[in-house]
Structure 1
Amino acid sequence: MGQGAAAIPQAPSPLLLCRSTILFLGLLVIGVVCAWKDETPPPPTSTATRGAASRICLSNQSSALLQFKQSFLNIYEFYRPDALISWQRDGSDCCHWKGVTCNNLTGFVIALEIPAPDFGDVIAGIAVDSSLFKLRYLQRLDLSYNQLNGAIPKRLVELTHLTHLNLSHCGFSGQIPVELSQMTRLVSLDLSYNDGLLLQHPNFSQLFRGLVHLEHLRLDRVDVSMSLRDVSMSLSSSHDLQTFSLSGCNISGPMDESLLHFQSISYLDLGSNKLESSIVEGLCSLGDITSLRLRASFMTGPIPPCLFSLPSLKELDLGGNHLNSGIPNLQLSQIASSLTELDLSGNRLTGSIPSSLFNLSFLATLDLSHNLLTENIPSSHFNLPFLKKVVLSGNSLTGTIPSWLFNLSSLEELDLSSNRLLGIPSSLFNPISSLKTVDLSDNFLTRSVPLLLFNLSSLESLDLSNNYLTGVPSVLFNSNSSLTTLDLSHNSLIGSIPPFFFTLPSLTKLNLGSNKFSDLLANFDNNLYSQYLEILQLDHNFLSGDIPSFVNRLRSVKNIDLSSNCFNFTIDLSFFFSIKGLFALDLSNNTRLTVDSSYSSDDAQGSSKDSPGIRSLKLNSCNIQTFPRFVCKLSNLVSLGLSNNNIEGEIPFCLWEVIHFGGLDLDHNKLHGFEEPAQGITGYGLSYMSVSNNRIQGEIPTFLCNFHDG
């Protein structure tokens, strides 16, 4: 070719082209991997693991976690580090630390869940610049029940991948930052039970404008101070809302159809607000709802019958309102069988209890207490295999208690107190009953207590107080009784107190006060007395004679009340003071009793190393004539009652040396002054003293002015 001709470039060698392409692709892959490792969000949480075979924790992630832990130690001295004891700078994989979940492909921390109840310790104080925010791929954050206090950090918006945020029960206060609206991936938000938090207009609307994917919202006890309609409209962009829990938020009514926008709702709680309206029947269109709670929201009017037909409803709580109709009596075909909890307590419901309620075959809890219900409890036999709790107290129910209530195999708690019931069934008790608590107090029950009540092997608490019962079984055949609390007070029980009460093997509290018992029998094997009895109340009876010797061998007893009886002997209080664990003794209003006030043993109860010592001693109206100086040796005494006696002379100075003394009642005696202490004393704890109706004259002693709270 000639000189002027253009040079034609040669094509590159195929081998060179191939090598260049491979080098470029290699660099590209390395760049992508590096970028993915440092910048790309982790894969979905389905790949997360707490137990990968190899160490996958990234150093910057473990470092951030350790700095997060250290921020508590630096700020709060009382923080106990054992809550996060697995978080150590020892080379361990942070993805295996308690409360930490990582993505098993990238090593990024995607979940930090350290609620205080699960960890057993309370973490206190997040610093605003906390390294928590370096965990930028967090998807789940749960710090509930930790005392974090202060304001919710605005920097939470830096956690752009967060889908679940739980900061409930953390002591936060102030306005919830509207910046949280930028956390557009949030599916679940729980800021409940931070009593100082506010989220009022217009912040409420601004916050939820961007949270379009929200499915679960809990703001209980956050001060919203808006109408229910405005709240519903502000949340209208959250079409998939399933949990709507805003109890105690100072939300005003009325309830209207705006709630029906959320057709996916399964949990609705608007309790403890001021809705002041009737329950809208439109709620019955929420076919997916499983829990409806409107407790204490000033609801009025009738209960819509259609609520009982909701196909998925398991929990219905309308208690503490002003509902004033009868309970709907529905046909079996109209009732949804899924209901497990029904609470209509504390309303003004009238009429009888409809039998249809007992056709709810999955019912576990029924509470109709404190209404205006009348007539008999339905007597037909009902098959309720899951029913555990029945509370019908505080009504005007009449008739005999139906036997089927005692034959339910799963029933554990039965409360029929404060009604007008007349009788207890004497037969057909289920020998394998699960009953643990029975309260039949404040009724019109008569005759004797059925022996079979004591033979319910699982029964732990039995209250028959405030009735008209006249007798109890003289013999107990069930030596395997689980009874721990027995209250037969305020009846008309007569004769001798049966010994078997003191042989119940698990009994801790026995109240036989305010009856007509005349004798405390002691003719039984002294080795059979209850070993766990702590409270013995025999007050306001007609007991006379001596106190059986087994009483001071009740080794666990802490409180003995024998007041207002007819004991007519001289008693040496060393009988009681020898009971090492005795905490309180009341012998007051035994006008025929003579207390030996000369007791002066150096081994007075209260000096024992095995006992905290008696703290309350009541000897009012016991015909005492000289001041019982032995009380000065009861070093743990807090309350002393000696009123309405015939005590003469001066109040002894040794009394002021009882360090923990709090209350002193010396009314209505013949005291004429105070013994002056040999030297100045400084007393602690004297908060109450009454010496009215005595013969004391002159000025108040100056040393009494030296007492102060210890």
Structure 2
Amino acid sequence: MTSLIGGSRQPFCFLLVLLLCCVSASSLFHAKDPVDGLATCHPSHIQALAQFKSEFDSSSCNQTDYFNGVWCDNTTGVVTKLRLRACLSGTLRPNSSLFSFRHLRYLYLSHNDFTSSSLPSGFGSLNKLEVLSLSFNGFKGQVPSSFSNLSLLSFLDLSQNELTGSFPPIHNLTKLSVLSLSYNHFFGSIPSSLFTMPFLSFLDLRENQLTDSIEVLTSSSSRLQHLLLGHNQFERQILKPISKLITLTNLDLSFLNISYPIDLTVFSSLKSLTYFDLSGNIVSPTSLSSISGIPLSMEELILSGCNIPEFPNMFKTLHNLTFLDLTRNQIKGKLPAWLWSLPFLTTVSLFNNSLSGFEGRAEVLVNSSVQVLSLDSNNFEGALPHLPLSINTFSVERNNFSGNIPLSICNRNSLVVLDLAYNNFTGPIPQCLSNLTTLSLRKNNLEGSLPDVFYAGSSMRLLDVGYNQLTGKLPKSLVNCSSLEFLSVDHNGIEDTFPFWLKDLPGLKVLILRSNKCYGSISPPHQGPLAFPELRIFEISDNNFTGSLSPSYFVNWKTFSDKRNEDGSIYMIYKGKEIREAYAIYAHIDLRYKGLSMEQENVLTFYAAIDFSGNRIEGQIPESIGLLKELIALNLSNNAFTGHIPLSFTNLQELESLDLSRNELSGTIPNGLKTLTFLAYVNVSHNQLKGEIPQGTQITGQPKSSFEGNVGLCGLPLVESCFGTNVPPTQQPEEEEKDNEVLSWKAVVIGYGLGVLLGLVIAQVIASYKPEWLVKIIGPNKPKYR
């Protein structure tokens, strides 16, 4: 499972610096009663604080949160420190009342939503500031020249915005200790004055468009310890000037677009270097064999994607090494036995190479200090070696390991993550693996049944045994896995009824039962909503499921909301929406999407997908499906659905793939489908539909095969013209709007469970108007449940 330990790694000391800053902030703004927090503040400043709050949408922060971020001087009552993060939304105007706090020494405004704002020049008037953090705010444009007035600043963080222009005016900020401008759009050269600043120890300029070389005056003119320049576009020589910065402990030069091979001996003068990231650059193979190529003080070394052809023996001398990343290279042969004797080595990531085995005996790894080991996507074969006693995470997916899963794994008490997917393992699944947090055995040749030994309080979060030869039933003890979020048993021989009992798992987000021998109704015994509120991906295709679905089948599914994490953690962006990273589960699924069966790797579960295809489900498609507004893919093909296509489909604004083919659907295609901007694939073939196909780009751009087999359909992309024929019209927008209102009403009545009696009373009142949709839902043709 490469996502757990692969990719770029933040420098430990970089995180430590920010952590210390946050700890300092926490001590200044510790949680207390809001009245006590403002007790020392002058009334005029309290009024100004309220005025500042009123300039924004502050619905994300309550009164306590807002005023607990305020600290006033005990003597004068003026505001000296202000911390408001992940709270405010709106435009920070040039005349904001914020700039009236002229005595501010500490201002922390990160993770707010100022996306339409430029950086106001008013910040320059706060010339008593010592700490200024404006990261993750969406600021645009250039940094105002007034920032040069902030001569007392020791900490300046403008990272993760949309700032542009040449290097900001910081030449007067001689007291700076920490400067972070990363993840912006600054271009041009880095001023040499940076390296003469007497206190600057931390400089982060990653992810910009800086191009010119660095000029360092003398080796003693800089006190820099952390220099992070990764992901820029340096065109000239920068390595020799950097080699003069002998105080460096952390250095990130990843992905610098340097066209020539880098000689590692250039950095031999950096005797104090403990963290070094050179990923994405070509490293000279000869320099990898030099003893002086890497400083002996090295603790964390990242050389991912550097075209390294063989395992460097020079690493044998790095006795302080704790973290080694050689992913995405071309390393062949066997891993050397001496690697496992490095005394402090805890993490080794070697995925995406061509390694074939291990030197030494099968027990060569046992006494290693390694806790995290990733060997994914290599050429290892044969039996698994005996794992280190200290192992925590072991991932070897996409190799050629074979034989039984060794029972020696049961003696690794610290093991919590095990990924053996895409190998050739045979035999049964050891019962002890139920103790893990993450277990992926996907695409092997395992036999027998899933062990029914999951104990109460199990920490299992992800279980994937898809594409094996497992039989029997789903183990009922899975209900003990209260943390389970991802369950996939697809493409096996499991023969069981639908596991309604899994409803007791509060956080289950992914349920995949595809291609087994499961049977029976998928409607709950009470014939109401499906009780899986957190479910995001529901895949039960190619089984023998039967029955019909109630109109309220999907009303218990929660509508996803993009609220901020209280600690201000990073958000993910999906189709313009900010989405918290914690909602993501990294795993594999096979999804029938846009007419194709494809494997989705590292699937993110902040979207929803449903696949009921290849069963014998009958009755009407539930109207409540229109409540699933994050639905990306919907496949109900090859069933026995009848009735109309629900008008509520037009609410599925994120829908990309819709397959309703090979059912018994009748009526017209809702005209609102043509308004679904992201809808790239539609298939309604082989039904009993009639009328004109909605004439919109998303629909008429589909192939003819998506509509064939419906004798009553006409219009593009079919050859049959609707002109001059007496065909039923498509639904009009007014009718769709009415139906959307009805759907909202249904969500309130059914989703919040007002009770059967009250529901019948309301239904009786509304039924007096006899709208057509109501007759279909609660009238004499109401579906029967099994």
Instruction: Report the TM-score when normalising by structure 1.
Output: 0.71
Per-residue displacement from partner, 1:204-223 (whole Å, max 9, x unpaired)?
A: 5xx34444454443322443
Q: Paired residue for 2:531?
A: 580
Q: Paired residue for 2:784?
A: none
Deviation at 1:369, TM superposition (A): 1.0
Report the number of matched residues.
Answer: 603
Matched, 1:703 2:730: yes
How far, CA to CA, are the matches of 1:313 and 1:642 in structure 2? 58
Per-residue displacement from partner, 1:195-240 (whole Å, max 9, x unpaired)?
A: 134345xxx5xx344444544433224433213xxx2345466455
- CA RMSD in angstroms comes to 4.6
Q: Retained in 2: the 8 A contact 1:246–1:269? A: yes
Deviation at 1:65, TM superposition (A): 3.3
Point out where structure 2 has 5 or more consecutive residues left out of the alignment. Answer: 1-26, 31-36, 560-607, 686-704, 715-727, 741-786
Deviation at 1:290, TM superposition (A): 1.4
How far, CA to CA, are the matches of 1:641 and 1:172 in structure 2? 41
Q: Paired residue for 1:450?
A: 406
Of 647, 659, 664, which aligns to 1:665? 659
Q: Which amino acid aligns with 1:696?
A: N
Q: Paired residue for 2:581?
A: none
Matched, 1:189 2:160: no
Q: Retained in 2: the 8 A contact 1:50–1:100? A: yes
Residues 109-124 of structure 1: pairs in structure 2 closer than 5 A: 111-114=80-83, 116=85, 121-122=87-88
Deviation at 1:629, TM superposition (A): 0.7
Residues 307-326 of structure 1: pairs in structure 2 closer than 5 A: 307=267, 310-323=270-283, 325=285
Q: CA 1:575–1:67 in 2, change beyond 3 Å: closer, same or farther? A: closer
Q: CA 1:652–1:630 in 2, change beyond 3 Å: closer, same or farther? A: closer
Matched, 1:352 2:305: no
Residues 294-693 of structure 1: pairs in structure 2 closer than 5 A: 294-299=253-258, 300-305=260-265, 307=267, 310-323=270-283, 325=285, 328-329=288-289, 331=291, 336-354=295-313, 356-357=314-315, 359-380=317-338, 382-384=340-342, 386-400=344-358, 405=365, 407-409=367-369, 411-423=370-382, 425-427=384-386, 429-430=388-389, 433=390, 435=392, 437-473=393-429, 475-477=430-432, 481=435, 483-493=436-446, 495-500=447-452, 505-515=458-468, 517=469, 519-520=471-472, 530-532=480-482, 533-541=484-492, 543=493, 546-547=495-496, 552=501, 555-556=504-505, 559-565=510-516, 567=517, 571-574=520-523, 580-581=531-532, 583=535, 585-589=538-542, 593=544, 595-596=545-546, 599=547, 606=553, 618-622=611-615, 624=616, 628-629=618-619, 631-632=621-622, 641-644=635-638, 651-653=642-644, 655-656=646-647, 664-667=658-661, 669=662, 674-675=666-667, 689-692=682-685
Q: CA 1:642–1:521 in 2, change beyond 3 Å: closer, same or farther? A: closer
Q: Retained in 2: the 8 A contact 1:429–1:452? A: no
Deviation at 1:273, TM superposition (A): 0.8
Q: Retained in 1: the 8 A contact 2:454–2:477? A: no
Matched, 1:224 2:214: no
How far, CA to CA, are the matches of 1:681 and 1:58 in structure 2? 58
Q: Paired residue for 1:285?
A: 244
Per-residue displacement from partner, 1:96-155 (whole Å, max 9, x unpaired)?
A: x755364x7x74859424152xxx634765554455555545444443444456333334
How far, CA to CA, are the matches of 1:154 and 1:80 in structure 2? 26
How far, CA to CA, are the matches of 1:173 and 1:328 in structure 2? 43
Deviation at 1:423, TM superposition (A): 4.4
Q: Retained in 1: the 8 A contact 2:42–2:77? A: no
Of 232, 254, 270, which aligns to 1:273? 232
Q: CA 1:161–1:254 in 2, change beyond 3 Å: closer, same or farther? A: closer
Point out where structure 1 has 5 or more consecutive residues left out of the alignment. Answer: 1-47, 52-56, 88-96
Q: Percent identity?
A: 26
How far, CA to CA, are the matches of 2:514 and 2:276 in structure 1? 47
Q: Which amino acid aligns with 2:109?
A: L
Q: CA 1:262–1:540 in 2, change beyond 3 Å: closer, same or farther? A: farther
Structure with the bigger RCO (C-alpha within 8 Å, sep 6+) is 2
Of 119, 122, 142, which aligns to 1:152? 119
Larger Rg: 1
How far, CA to CA, are the matches of 1:551 and 1:49 in structure 2? 50
Q: Paired residue for 1:66?
A: 46
How far, CA to CA, are the matches of 2:519 and 2:106 in structure 1? 73
Per-residue displacement from partner, 1:633-672 (whole Å, max 9, x unpaired)?
A: 7756766534356x6xx951275567867664233x485x
Q: Which amino acid aligns with 1:191?
A: L
Q: Paired residue for 1:3?
A: none
Q: Paired residue for 1:143?
A: 109
How far, CA to CA, are the matches of 2:28 and 2:380 in structure 1? 60
Q: CA 1:608–1:288 in 2, change beyond 3 Å: closer, same or farther? A: closer
Deviation at 1:440, TM superposition (A): 0.7
Deviation at 1:360, TM superposition (A): 3.3
Q: Retained in 2: the 8 A contact 1:217–1:244? A: yes
Residues 120-269 of structure 1: pairs in structure 2 closer than 5 A: 121-122=87-88, 126-130=92-96, 132-133=98-99, 135-147=101-113, 150-199=117-166, 204=168, 207-227=169-189, 231-233=190-192, 235=194, 238=197, 241-254=200-213, 262-269=221-228
